[in-house]
Structure 1
Amino acid sequence: MTNNITPHKWRFFRSGGFDQVALETAADLQHLSELDPKLWTVLSCPTSGLEIDSRTLALLDLDGDGQIRVPEIQAAVSWSCQRLTDAQLMFQPPGVPLHAISDADEIGAAIKLAALRVLEYTGKTADDSLQVDDFADKSRLFSPDHCNGDGVVMAQLTADEDVKQLITDIVSVLGGVADRSGGMGTDTEMLSSFVAQAQAIVDWHKAGAAESDDLHPLGSDTAAAVAVFDSVQAKVDDFFVRCQLAAFDSRAAQALNPEATVYAVLANRAIGQGEDDITALPLAEVGAGLVLPLGQGVNPAWAEKIQQLGQVVVKPLLGNMPESLSFADWSAISAKLATWRAWQAAKPDSALHQLTLERLTAIVTSDATARLEQLIALDLAEKTFADNVDAVERLVHYQRNLVTLLRNYVSLSDFYQGENKAIFQAGTLYLDQRSCELVLYVADMARHASMSPFSGCYLVYCTCTRQGEAAVNIVAALTGGDVDELMVPGRNGIFYDRNGRDWKASVIKVVAQPVSIRQAFWSPYKRVAAFIEGQLQKFAASRDKDIETQTTSGVADAAAAPAATTSGFDIAKFAGIFAAIGLALGALGTMLAAVVAGLFSLQWWQVPLVLLGVMLLISCPSMLMAFMTLRRRNLGPLLDANGWAVNTRAKINVPFGAALTGLAKLPQGAKRSLKDPYAEKKQPWGLILLVLLLIAATVGYWLYW
């Protein structure tokens, strides 16, 4: 049985040296998943550094890895076509009318209903189109006074005063959870935690309120007594442990009491009762079987607290006020206060203590918690609406931006056809009387600089700064004009980003490559001229240095030996110099004579051809290398260095390269005056030198031939 399904007829155009698919109709989008990925221009691109809506890229990046891949593109296109009644809307100006959303299935009907509610919430009618800006402020779509499906409930959502007060308490004490509307509310998890903490505090207070001699040995004064006990417990325990050690070993007593040298430090200055040096000393003299005095013999720094211990704790618990406290009495007191202290140690660690016990009791005993749980469940039931709102937002973003991405991904039509800038073009760099349109942002300079030379383009890396903005790095391809005056570092230009903002651009690196055949033709002569100029500068500098050295040494010698006689004129040396000059001129004349003789032996019309041939012989290697480099000039490495996966050789030939770099030229119809009042006056020395060379060549020819 034969398959009668007619394959989709694709239309391709050729640009950049390869075939690119044209995406122009709804059918092209509907069959995009059938197009062989080998015919796609790009297989992956990053979600950053592109001139396209970042929210759209985030929606496309389903796995959140920062890359847009072919399956994600295919899924987005397929989903968009399924959710629209006519996919041709993807090629229309931004905006999705309500009637354009397909309700052929249950999901589509729910999305369409959510779109209608979005129009209502944003103050539009059913006849208006949905725009990306309608989703910029989610608080209009998910206001606090209606459910939004996030499971977070704010106080504004209910008219129940008890529930409203409960939400307010939770937010004020625990901070709350962010609601889609932008405010703070509570969810089930925070509500459960709040109620559990409230119950724990109530139970703890209930345990402390129990009438028990073990818990309240001093009745209402127990809390005050425990506070005094806790303030000296560690110091009293320290005293009795020292005495026990002294009883264990008599040699320990002397070591456990302060050395006399401790008091010597205090002898020659005024001593304060609460000084740290005194506070650190034992409560009393340490010895085997000794008791803690409650009056005389106590460390002055602790005397007041020990006296307070006797009055508030010891006397009420023992029934009398002894002059001293034995270890047995101290242990008995500790045991009587242990229950209260254990209860205090069990105090729940919670921020809810800032609420009164009465309020916490009302919370755990009322049914406001159950009503709040029902309200949260009601809000969660609206999750379908929230998900559908997200779907409407996705559809609106795709309708506005997806085709633009396709024309920079499946093909590079935006880059090669010139109607719109490609999404990877960051803006325009103005530098050295030219404008560069192929400018890319650079996130990783080292990676980019290592790969970019394979593009074959002359590249200029710049750091761009603007007041109030973080500095950015860019790379610009120079595809026209001369590049002799570019200097690194420090050459400055102006970069205009896609929003029209100007940045100061400073050149930090240059990747030198041929720009044109014409430049390559003259480059050998420019290199020779630069070499000669450099050698002359070195020679002049060395001679200047020698003269300075000789002058300095001569002055020094003259000062040291004023009576020395001046040496006479060396006629032999002078004659030798003139003889050398004569030989050099003779050799030069002989060479010129040979050249002139050769030229005179030719027909007059052959002379220009010979000169042209000599020039071509000199320039051909440079021109050949430039020709080969310009033929392999390729956009791919520039994008690959930024994290793209380019699937073809996207060539930048000479005509297209000329379109990417604009050179300075006078406006059409402009008038120009050639009179320059500050122009340098022409000197006849060049013409005189040329005449002398011709005369020398003629004389040499006459003498030797």
Structure 2
Amino acid sequence: MANFNTLVVQPLLGARDSLQAVDWQRIKERFAAYAAWLQSQPDPTAVHEAVRNLEQLARYVRDLMLLANNFVAFRDFYDRSKSATFQVGTLYLDTRSCDLCVAVNDAAKHTALASLARICLVYVDCTRGADKMSVAAAMTAGDSDQLMVGRNGVFYDRKGLDWNATITKIVDHPISLRQAFWSPYKRLARLVSEQLQKMAASKAKASEERMGSLATNVVGKAAVPAAAPQPKPAAMPAPFDVARFAGIFAAIGLAVGALGTALASVLGGLFALKWWQMPIALLGLLLLVSGPAVVMAWFKLRSRNLGPILDANGWAINARARINIPFGTSLTKLAVLPAHAQRSLTDPYAEKSNHGLLLVALLLLAAALAAWKWGWLAF
């Protein structure tokens, strides 16, 4: 009541000790206009709802086209001057930069569906201080010879911040036609190298076992006391089996002869051609070896699809966002020398070359070919 007297009665009626009915009526008349104004105001709840609707409309006007270009038409993705909203940055790894990088929460779960995209994916764990995240990067150019779990790279996010990246998983798919062309020869070279390494390892192990056995026998003989009983006489070695070794040498001779005959027949057929037919024959041999791998890779590269990668992240993609060979190549940039830069090919620690021996071998081969061509030598 004291506040009512101070704030209302005294300003309107002056100081007084009591309030009569006539005075109360005068106060009500003075506040009638304010009461009418309050009653004319809309419902606050409705006002707040209208403000929220207006905000949503403003956001739709601003972002609806951006949403359609990234979730429906993928215009920003196919426009190489822009980056789609799902592209979280660029991964620099193995002398290349990968622009198609998406964030993933669970690499194992993501792989189950993303592998259907037929894109070579490299999953990396990125760390920056205490912050961590996982990224799946698409490799669409180059080869996968040096891609392996544990290799490190650098990831730059959309804000330009750099992260330490480490490969944790690789989904292997064809990357390029060049890789498919050389893949049969690389597999053959790898197989030969592995077999030679296994053979060398087995020979080294057998040699070590023989040396260890010899050392054990020598030490054992030196440690035998004078009163020790005489050892049993060693068993007589088996007699030399001439027929057995003759069979082995005959088998080796047959194998070498078969290889020589096959090589001679191939060279004879090749040299029987005219000079302009030889490159065509070599090209046909290359196509025979590499052709199937290239054809299979071509079909797989043409069927690459972005949809499974986004579906694995929880999106609902209806469109088949194809990634053909030229567009896929543009998503991964290979390292090149800067302008006006030159390579230094001088190696102070280079091994001695065998160019002289190679030249002699080429001269002998040319002489043999000339002798065969002129009828002096017959295969």
The match for 1:456 is 118
Aligned pair 1:514/2:177, yes or no? no
Aligned pair 1:499/2:156, yes or no? no
CA 552–672 in structure 1, closer or farther in 2 if over 3 Å, else same:
closer
Find 2:90's aligned residue among 428, 432, 451.
428
Alpha-carbon displacement from aligned partner over 1:419-446 (angstroms, at most 9, x marks no partner): 3211111111111010101111112323
Shift of 1:693: 7.5
Aligned pair 1:630/2:291, yes or no? no
CA 383–687 in structure 1, closer or farther in 2 if over 3 Å, else same:
farther
Contact 1:516 1:630 in 2 (8 A): yes
Please state whether the residue corresponding to 1:647 is helix, strand or coil: coil
Map of 1:591-630 to 2, 5 A cutoff?
591-630=262-301
Contact 1:464 1:474 in 2 (8 A): yes
Q: 2:111 corresponds to which letter in structure 1?
A: A
Structure 1 CA distance for aligned equivalents of residues 358 and 121 of structure 2: 38
Shift of 1:533: 0.7
Shift of 1:584: 4.9
Structure 1 CA distance for aligned equivalents of residues 245 and 216 of structure 2: 26
Structure 2 CA distance for aligned equivalents of residues 694 and 585 of structure 1: 23
The match for 1:589 is 260
Alpha-carbon RMSD across the aligned residues, in angstroms, is 3.5
Please state whether the residue corresponding to 1:638 is helix, strand or coil: helix
The match for 1:474 is 135
Contact 1:442 1:474 in 2 (8 A): yes
Find 1:538's aligned residue among 188, 195, 198.
198
Q: 2:163 corresponds to which letter in structure 1?
A: W
Structure 2 CA distance for aligned equivalents of residues 524 and 392 of structure 1: 63
The match for 1:549 is 209
Shift of 1:459: 0.8
Q: 1:487 corresponds to which letter in structure 2?
A: M
CA 536–687 in structure 1, closer or farther in 2 if over 3 Å, else same:
farther
Contact 2:156 2:162 in 1 (8 A): yes
Shift of 1:482: 1.6
Structure 2 CA distance for aligned equivalents of residues 496 and 413 of structure 1: 23
Q: 1:607 corresponds to which letter in structure 2?
A: M
Alpha-carbon displacement from aligned partner over 1:393-437 (angstroms, at most 9, x marks no partner): 434433443321111123110001223211111111111010101
Contact 2:72 2:319 in 1 (8 A): no
Q: 1:555 corresponds to which letter in structure 2?
A: A
Structure 2 CA distance for aligned equivalents of residues 547 and 476 of structure 1: 48
Alpha-carbon displacement from aligned partner over 1:23-80 (angstroms, at most 9, x marks no partner): xxxxxxxxxxxxxxxxxxxxxxxxxxxxxxxxxxxxxxxxxxxxxxxxxxxxxxxxxx
Shift of 1:598: 1.2
Contact 1:633 1:651 in 2 (8 A): yes
Aligned pair 1:644/2:315, yes or no? yes
Aligned pair 1:487/2:158, yes or no? no
CA 672–422 in structure 1, closer or farther in 2 if over 3 Å, else same:
same
Shift of 1:382: 3.4
Alpha-carbon displacement from aligned partner over 1:602-630 (angstroms, at most 9, x marks no partner): 11111121111111111111111101101
Map of 1:92-491 to 2, 5 A cutoff?
382-469=44-131, 471-488=132-149, 490-491=150-151
Shift of 1:515: 1.1
Q: 1:521 corresponds to which letter in structure 2?
A: F
Structure 2 CA distance for aligned equivalents of residues 690 and 583 of structure 1: 28
Contact 1:589 1:696 in 2 (8 A): no
Q: 1:475 corresponds to which letter in structure 2?
A: A
Map of 1:35-114 to 2, 5 A cutoff?
none
Alpha-carbon displacement from aligned partner over 1:184-237 (angstroms, at most 9, x marks no partner): xxxxxxxxxxxxxxxxxxxxxxxxxxxxxxxxxxxxxxxxxxxxxxxxxxxxxx
CA 586–410 in structure 1, closer or farther in 2 if over 3 Å, else same:
closer
Shift of 1:387: 3.3
CA 394–518 in structure 1, closer or farther in 2 if over 3 Å, else same:
same
Shift of 1:600: 2.0
Structure 2 CA distance for aligned equivalents of residues 410 and 586 of structure 1: 67
Contact 2:126 2:165 in 1 (8 A): yes
CA 498–655 in structure 1, closer or farther in 2 if over 3 Å, else same:
same
Structure 2 CA distance for aligned equivalents of residues 540 and 383 of structure 1: 86
Contact 2:153 2:164 in 1 (8 A): yes
The match for 2:20 is none
The match for 1:226 is none
CA 693–454 in structure 1, closer or farther in 2 if over 3 Å, else same:
farther
* Rg comparison, structure with higher value: 1
Choose between structure 1 and 2 for higher RCO, CA contacts under 8 A separated by at least 6 residues: 2
List runs of 5+ in structure 1 lacking aligned partners: 1-159, 162-376
TM-score, length of structure 2 as denominator length: 0.75
Structure 1 CA distance for aligned equivalents of residues 103 and 211 of structure 2: 57
Shift of 1:670: 2.8
Contact 1:456 1:632 in 2 (8 A): yes
Shift of 1:585: 4.3
Contact 2:98 2:332 in 1 (8 A): yes
Alpha-carbon displacement from aligned partner over 1:487-520 (angstroms, at most 9, x marks no partner): 12x1111111111111111111111111111211
CA 702–577 in structure 1, closer or farther in 2 if over 3 Å, else same:
farther
Please state whether the residue corresponding to 2:155 is helix, strand or coil: strand
Structure 2 CA distance for aligned equivalents of residues 681 and 388 of structure 1: 84
Structure 2 CA distance for aligned equivalents of residues 417 and 441 of structure 1: 20
Please state whether the residue corresponding to 2:112 is helix, strand or coil: helix
CA 580–556 in structure 1, closer or farther in 2 if over 3 Å, else same:
farther
Shift of 1:589: 2.8
Q: 2:341 corresponds to which letter in structure 1?
A: A
Contact 2:123 2:167 in 1 (8 A): yes
Please state whether the residue corresponding to 1:461 is helix, strand or coil: strand
